[in-house]
């Protein structure tokens, strides 16, 4: 099937450097792709190029199988048939909710029916005659969504559309938005710098860094098989143990880890998330027996324990005297500093990466 939206090798130089540096993306109908990455990595610039309000220096944009922008041609934004929803979605203050939603539609009975249908979709039945100033922020946001969807765009570009909302409202509106977009079968490219939002919304996450896509995968896969340490760190706190490869193995307080394909002497990071650390009580100096799945348990001493609401974060200094490991535990359990405990980590939850000098800052 032809993707609704496709970009090939988009490059954009701004302020003398490549802000977008070879972005290739493809979004089929009914799919939500999230462009996720830290501030300044080029997400909005990519979206602006696809919308047609900016133009790339190289590469092409195709919509519904048709090239709308490359070296030779550049279709203006209003002729791309793309729905846009940005953070500052500015409704027309002098128009009613219904008039705002129907703004881009011909004035006929079909449009009136479409406006009614959308009011229902975004759960604003009965709000049609109100003006924007009579609505809450979240209600205005839903009107903006309905307005963007009214002409049935096959493609929707959204740039941090939920960032102006407080937490609880944001969750609600995200879910409502997602179900409307899915019902309409829209291809969506959604920009966000929040991993939680991407995990919640996306069928596919394109993780960006410095103008490039470093990994593209479903949320589950990107979380559980990150390409490098920084990609792992983008989604949660991480623990990092360091080691040196000897005979395709590296030694840690948790026993040996496989480091396949890495030459002797390679410095590696062994990375795992706090929620994947299991803790056990010390029984007369002994911990649980080693298992193939969980490897060798290692002993550590609680340095700090912080109550975080639904869980506690406990920081351990391991018996090697240098390795620090943080574990997430249920909040009912808050061990005192100085408590000795045994930690184990499931081997399949650990990632071994050769250390890159560029990543030390991450």
Ligand X SMILES: Nc1ncnc2c1ncn2[C@@H]1O[C@H](COP(=O)(O)OP(=O)(O)OP(=O)(O)O)[C@@H](O)[C@H]1O
Q: How far apart are CA 310 and CA 308, in angstroms?
A: 6
Partner in contact with 323, chosen from Mg ion, ligand X, none, beta carbon below 5 to 8 Å by kind: none
Cβ–Cβ under 8 Å, residues 268 and 243: yes
Q: How far apart are CA 77 and CA 55, in angstroms?
A: 11
Give whichever of 50 and 68 is closer to ligand X, judged by the CB atom.
50
Partner in contact with 42, chosen from ligand X, Mg ion, none, beta carbon below 5 to 8 Å by kind: ligand X
- Please give the residue ranges that form the binding site for ligand X (CB under 6 A): 14-15, 19, 37, 39-45, 193
Give whichever of 40 and 290 is closer to ligand X, judged by the CB atom.
40
CB under 8 Å to 109, separation ≥6 — which residues? none
Task: Tell me which residue of 354, 300, 307, 296 sits closest to 330, measured CA to CA.
Answer: 307
Q: Which helix (H) or strand (E) holds 332?
A: none
Partner in contact with 193, chosen from ligand X, Mg ion, none, beta carbon below 5 to 8 Å by kind: ligand X
Q: Is 275 left (phi over 0), alpha (psi -120 to 50) or beta?
A: alpha
Give whichever of 170 and 193 is closer to ligand X, judged by the CB atom.
193
As measured in angstroms, the least distance from the Cβ of 160 to Mg ion is: 6
Helix (H, G, I), strand (E, B) or coil at 297: coil
As measured in angstroms, the least distance from the Cβ of 194 to Mg ion is: 12
Cβ–Cβ under 8 Å, residues 198 and 34: yes
| 8-state DSSP, 288 | P
Partner in contact with 41, chosen from Mg ion, ligand X, none, beta carbon below 5 to 8 Å by kind: ligand X
Give whichever of 44 and 252 is closer to Mg ion, judged by the CB atom.
44
Binding residues with Mg ion: total (CB under 5 A): 1
As measured in angstroms, the least distance from the Cβ of 41 to ligand X is: 4
The strand pair at 277-281 and 340-345 is best described as: antiparallel
Q: What is the end-to-end Cα distance of the chain in Å, rounded?
A: 39
As measured in angstroms, the least distance from the Cβ of 156 to ligand X is: 17
The sheet with strand 340-345 has its strands ordered as 277-281, 340-345, 298-307, 311-318, 324-330
Partner in contact with 40, chosen from Mg ion, ligand X, none, beta carbon below 5 to 8 Å by kind: ligand X
Of residues 35-64, which lie at the interface with Mg ion (CB under 5 A)? 44
Partner in contact with 15, chosen from Mg ion, ligand X, none, beta carbon below 5 to 8 Å by kind: ligand X
Provide φ and ψ at 341, rounded to 5°.
-140, 165
Cβ–Cβ under 8 Å, residues 61 and 72: no
Partner in contact with 76, chosen from Mg ion, ligand X, none, beta carbon below 5 to 8 Å by kind: none
Told to check if 239 binds Mg ion by CB under 5 A, we report no
As measured in angstroms, the least distance from the Cβ of 50 to Mg ion is: 13
Give whichever of 44 and 100 is closer to Mg ion, judged by the CB atom.
44
Q: How far is CA 47 from CA 1, 121, 164, 255, in A?
A: 23, 26, 19, 46
As measured in angstroms, the least distance from the Cβ of 224 to ligand X is: 25
Partner in contact with 61, chosen from Mg ion, ligand X, none, beta carbon below 5 to 8 Å by kind: none
Partner in contact with 39, chosen from Mg ion, ligand X, none, beta carbon below 5 to 8 Å by kind: ligand X
As measured in angstroms, the least distance from the Cβ of 77 to ligand X is: 17
Give whichever of 211 and 274 is closer to ligand X, judged by the CB atom.
211
Give whichever of 39 and 167 is closer to ligand X, judged by the CB atom.
39
As measured in angstroms, the least distance from the Cβ of 211 to ligand X is: 8
As measured in angstroms, the least distance from the Cβ of 31 to ligand X is: 21
DSSP string, 130-193: S-GGGS-HHHHHHHHHHHHHTT--SEEEEESTTTTS-HHHHHHHHHHHHHHHHHHT-EEEEEES
* Token pair belonging to 191: 């920009």
Interface contacts to Mg ion, rule CB under 5 A: 44
């Amino acid at each position: 099937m032809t993707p609704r939206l496709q970009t090939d090798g988009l490059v954009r130089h701004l302020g003398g450097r490549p802000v977008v540096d070879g972005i290739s993306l493809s979004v089929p109908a009914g799919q939500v792709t999230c462009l996720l990455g830290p501030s300044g990595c080029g997400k909005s610039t990519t979206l602006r190029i696809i919308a047609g309000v900016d133009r790339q220096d190289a590469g092409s944009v195709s919509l519904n199988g048709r090239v709308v922008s490359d070296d030779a041609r550049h279709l203006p934004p209003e002729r791309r048939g793309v729905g846009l929803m940005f953070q500052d979605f500015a409704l027309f203050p002098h128009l009613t909710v219904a008039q705002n939603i129907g703004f881009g539609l011909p004035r006929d009975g079909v449009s009136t029916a479409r406006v009614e249908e959308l009011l229902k979709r975004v759960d604003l039945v009965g709000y049609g005659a109100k003006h924007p100033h009579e609505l809450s922020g979240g209600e205005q946001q839903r009107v903006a969504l309905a307005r963007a969807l009214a002409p049935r765009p096959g493609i929707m570009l959204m740039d941090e559309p939920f960032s102006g909302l407080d937490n609880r409202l944001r969750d609600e509106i995200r879910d409502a938005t997602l179900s409307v977009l899915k019902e309409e079968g829209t291809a969506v490219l959604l920009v966000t710098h929040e991993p939680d939002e991407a995990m919640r919304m996306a069928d596919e996450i394109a993780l960006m860094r410095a103008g490039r896509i470093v990994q593209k995968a479903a949320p589950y896969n990107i979380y559980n098989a990150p390409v490098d340490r920084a990609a792992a760190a983008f989604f949660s706190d991480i623990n990092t143990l360091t080691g040196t490869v000897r005979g395709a193995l590296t030694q840690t307080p948790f026993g040996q880890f496989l480091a396949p394909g890495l030459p002797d002497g390679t410095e590696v990071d062994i990375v795992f998330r706090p929620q994947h650390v299991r803790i056990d009580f010390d029984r007369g100096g002994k911990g649980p027996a080693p298992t193939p799945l969980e490897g060798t348990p290692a002993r550590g001493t609680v340095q700090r324990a912080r109550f975080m609401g639904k869980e506690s974060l406990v920081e351990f200094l391991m018996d090697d005297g240098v390795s620090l490991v943080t574990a997430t535990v249920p909040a009912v359990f808050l061990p005192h500093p100085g408590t000795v405990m045994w930690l184990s980590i499931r081997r399949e939850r650990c990632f071994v990466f050769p250390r890159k000098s560029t990543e030390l800052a991450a």
